[in-house]
Amino acid sequence: MRRRNVFLSLVVAGLLPVPAANGHGTGSHTGFVSTVSGLEPPQLGVLVQVLGGHERLSVRNLGRKTVVVFDEDGDEGLRLAPGESGTMADRRIGSTGPPPDEGEFVRDWRIPAEANGEPFEIVGFLGYRAPEGTQDESDSGLPRWAIVLAAAGGAVVLAAALALPLLRREGEDERASDATER
């Protein structure tokens, strides 16, 4: 009986509503998203991605060459030996200006770098998509309540499926203890 109560308490706690997380909060640059499209020429073992939507570059050097990424002034912004990784804030990949009227491509960007002294560029683009709640709801797909309802229903079905073996085992334990008492 105790196992069932603990289990049901956990199921109920898991179904409590959780506030939605907002990736960027609010502000004039909310909705900008920067994307790395590649390295020119390609560099074996160098992985680059954008963090924070359009705030920082994350560079992982899984190759055998020392990688240097240059900042806006042409100085060394990031130096990574083989096996190292790091991040750097860079205004070239983002925007501090006002957002465009609608979601759209904003501009391309290029960040100079080198691997063992051989130059390459980190290439990407900046786009904009109006944050949720500022768009016309008619084209946003399923309403949020439908998604939450479907997720809650799925959680209940999963909880029931997981509870059945525990409830069966508990019934068998009670029957076994009744048999031993007789």
What DSSP string describes 109-147? EEEEEEETTEEEEEEEEEEE-PPTTSS-GGGSSS-HHHH
- Model pLDDT, residue 1: 52
Q: How far apart are CA 98 and CA 149, in angstroms?
A: 36
- Mean pLDDT in runs of 10 for the chain (182 residues)? 46 39 46 94 96 93 97 96 96 87 89 97 93 57 73 73 66 64 62
- Model pLDDT, residue 154: 76
Question: Which of 47, 64, 66 is closest to 117 using CA atoms?
Answer: 66
Distance of CA 170 to the CA centre of its chain: 40
Instruction: Looking at the structure, give the CATH architecture of the domain made up of residues 32-128.
Output: Sandwich (2.60)
pTM to 2 decimal places: 0.58
In this structure, the number of other CB atoms found within 10 A of the CB of residue 180 comes to 7
Q: How far apart are CA 2 and CA 104, in angstroms?
A: 57
- Model pLDDT, residue 143: 73
Q: Which two tokens stand for residue 154?
A: 């799925």
- Model pLDDT, residue 175: 65
Amino acid residing at 1: M
Q: How far apart are CA 152 and CA 40, in angstroms?
A: 46
Domain spans, the chain: 2-15+142-181, 32-128
- Strand arrangement of the beta sheet that strand 32-40 belongs to: 32-40, 118-128, 104-115, 67-70, 76-80
Q: Using the CB atoms, write b or e for 64-77: b if 16+ within 10 Å.
A: ebebbbbbeeeeeb
Q: Which two tokens stand for residue 179?
A: 């048999």
In this structure, the number of other CB atoms found within 10 A of the CB of residue 60 comes to 17
In this structure, the number of other CB atoms found within 10 A of the CB of residue 86 comes to 16
- Residue in this structure with the two tokens 């109920």, named with its chain if needed: 12
